[in-house]
Amino acid sequence: MKNKLTKSQRNFYVRFDINLTITESSHMDSVVKEIYPKLKMINTNSRIGKELLKLVLLNLYQNYSTNKKLLTGFHKNVNKYKPKSRYNKNQISKKIIDIVGNDKEKTKDGLVKAGYIDYWNGYNSKNAWDESYTSRIRAKLKLINIIRRHKVEANQIEKHPTTECIVIQVSDGSSKIKLEYNDTPNIIKMRQDLTKYNNLLWRTHIDIGWIPEEGVIFGSSEYPVAITQKNKFMRRIFNDPKFETGGRYYGGWIQGLNSEWRNKITINLMPTVEVDFSANGINLLYAKERLTAPEGDQYDLSIGNFNRHLNPYPPATIYNGYSMKDLRPLLKLMMLIMINAKNYNEAYYAIKGDVNDSNKKLPQGVALKPLMAMFEQKHSAIKKYFYSGFGASLYKFDSTVAEGVINYFTNKDVPVLCIHDSFIIELEYLKELKAVMQDSFKKTMLAETAPNVNHIDFLDIYEPLNPEHKKSGLWSLIPHKIKENTLVRIFTPTSETIIKKEVDRTEANERYITFMDHQMRLERDYYYNNK
């Protein structure tokens, strides 16, 4: 296409999913039968070509149904399509690239030249500091109308039931590649547990009830997160063929949210609470060494007996008037990089780069090298792990702790959402979650004690009536005669909402409103504060 995408537009996307399928009752085959002859494919087997076309249509239609502006990231690298791979349940071949086509190829038409999709070329950078990205595609209204005419429903699209959820992924320098492996009893058990967890998430309605018009912004970036009931599939990604490093849980739109938005998540329309370990990485390293971590905040460098001969920098050059609270986000980032980096220089420049990339400039007058030296000194007992590249091994411990928590609640049929070392759960399970997290830590690390767990304030899904409701057009939906202290809960349904009504989030002009009186709120707050 002639029109270039802005960075914000380009990054509002989801990856092309080669493991989608659709219920047998759908009419997608009729759509394929109508469209395929118009593509004028060359040297493409009709049966195979139609199956490839169906997969492309499933991705495009699902993403369009989530949000009209949502793009699909499509890989044109033939090495990404290996039919015999365990990661490719639909046995998709490189011929799918011809089905999509592009606006430059002279020999093949595909969906682009047939006028069914918009297409933007990807970019493969040769420089580590430059951003590479896949091509982007999006269905045109012409294609959507054909699919709708055949009465295909987006909720008929599903993940392939045996999609691989245990992944080995390594870096070859310029990209990430997935490795094949042989099953063992332990891996089979791991897959069974994770499949059970994914099935539970699939049956669970996870949402953010009140979404601003501009959408929910991904972390510190400028682009929104695609919130959909389809994107909840979790994988465990290991970083070596022996399954000794990595193993963290990844997947779903939830992990793309910052803490401000995570505490607005509802599970089956109920308020939630997030609980995390205090200084989890540091405490894991101390537990591995069979040592007790220093008392207090592990990131507070003002606590501890520091040898000025080892660290001669005056405090003023380190803090420059900033409190430890101000510096804590920087120190957490610094610690993670120091553990993952293979040497000091790699860590130093990575910290500087990450701080700048996240638009969190190093506080004025705060010196990074003295700060790193002070951190090393406070945690000298585990200093051998700094600049050692131990991060991936540390994640194995952290993921094993998470595994214990997830399996416990999955076996109780209670959904818990994993954000690596923190967990989101319905409010009523707060006390139980705290106990299970600490128990799993002790079992994993063979430790007598576990670090503190802290909960973030739960989402108050009810709020006082305010002028913003008038601006949003909701006022007309609220009864005139209500108590002054009544709270309102406003819910905007997604297209797949458990409320039996199909509504496109981008077009929704209807809201569901419930009320809570003052007495009910007092009882709820008492329950929370006494858990």
The reported pLDDT for the residue numbered 240 is 94
- Residue 4 corresponds to which amino acid? K
* In a domain? residue 453: no
Please state whether beta strands 117-120 and 463-464 pair in parallel, antiparallel, or not at all (unpaired). unpaired
The reported pLDDT for the residue numbered 285 is 96
The pTM of the whole model exceeds 0.85: no
What whole-number distance in Å separates Cα of residue 55 and Cα of residue 36?
13
**Same domain as 144, residue 6:** yes
Domain count, the chain: 3
Q: Which helix (H) or strand (E) holds 207?
A: strand 206-208
* In a domain? residue 109: yes
The reported pLDDT for the residue numbered 163 is 95
Cα–Cα distance list, 390 to 182, 336, 337, 383, 395 (Å): 25, 10, 10, 11, 9
Strand order in the sheet with 166-171: 176-179, 166-171, 235-238, 246-250
Other CB atoms closer than 10 Å to residue 260's CB: what's the count?
9
Task: Residue 71: give the domain boundaries.
Answer: 1-163
Cα–Cα distance list, 248 to 78, 235, 400 (Å): 28, 8, 8
The tokens describing 484, both together, are 């002054």
Please state whether beta strands 71-74 and 13-15 pair in parallel, antiparallel, or not at all (unpaired). parallel
Q: Which helix (H) or strand (E) holds 519?
A: helix 518-529
* In a domain? residue 64: yes
Q: What is the pLDDT along the chain (531 residues), one digit of tens a residue?
A: 457 888 888 888 889 999 999 988 789 999 999 999 988 776 566 889 999 999 999 999 999 988 888 899 999 988 889 999 999 999 999 999 999 987 565 546 799 999 999 999 998 877 655 678 899 999 999 999 999 999 998 888 989 989 999 999 998 766 788 999 999 999 999 999 999 999 999 989 888 766 665 667 766 566 677 777 788 999 999 999 999 999 999 998 898 888 778 877 888 877 788 999 989 999 999 999 999 998 888 888 765 544 444 444 444 445 556 666 777 888 888 999 999 999 999 999 988 887 765 555 667 667 788 889 889 988 999 999 999 999 999 999 999 999 999 999 999 999 999 999 999 998 888 889 999 999 999 999 999 999 999 877 555 555 555 556 555 554 454 454 444 445 555 444 443 333 333 333 333 333 444 444 444 445 545 544 554
Q: Which of these three, 378, 399, 430, is where a domain ends?
A: 378
Q: Which of these three, 163, 197, 224, is where a domain ends?
A: 163
* In a domain? residue 487: yes
The reported pLDDT for the residue numbered 215 is 67
**Same domain as 155, residue 36:** yes
Three-state SS across 399-450? HHHHHHHHHHHHHCCCCCEEECCEEEEEHHHHHHHHHHHHHHHHHHHCCCCC
What whole-number distance in Å separates Cα of residue 266 and Cα of residue 217?
18
Contacts 24+ apart (CB under 8 A), 257-261: 257/216, 257/218, 257/219, 257/225, 258/219, 258/220, 259/456, 261/208, 261/216
**Same domain as 354, residue 483:** no
The tokens describing 210, both together, are 């009140």
**Same domain as 373, residue 472:** no
Cα–Cα distance list, 455 to 119, 170, 443 (Å): 45, 34, 22
* In a domain? residue 308: yes
The tokens describing 503, both together, are 């509504």
Q: Which helix (H) or strand (E) holds 523?
A: helix 518-529
The reported pLDDT for the residue numbered 501 is 31
Burial code of 109-136, b = ≥16 C-beta within 10 A, e = fewer?
bbbbbbebbbbbeeeeeeeeeeeebbbb
* In a domain? residue 516: yes
**Same domain as 36, residue 153:** yes
Q: What angle do CA 104, 65, 144 make, to 5 degrees?
A: 55
Q: Which helix (H) or strand (E) holds 463?
A: strand 463-464
What whole-number distance in Å separates Cα of residue 450 and Cα of residue 218?
32
* In a domain? residue 121: yes
Q: Which of these three, 378, 411, 435, is where a domain ends?
A: 378
* In a domain? residue 271: no
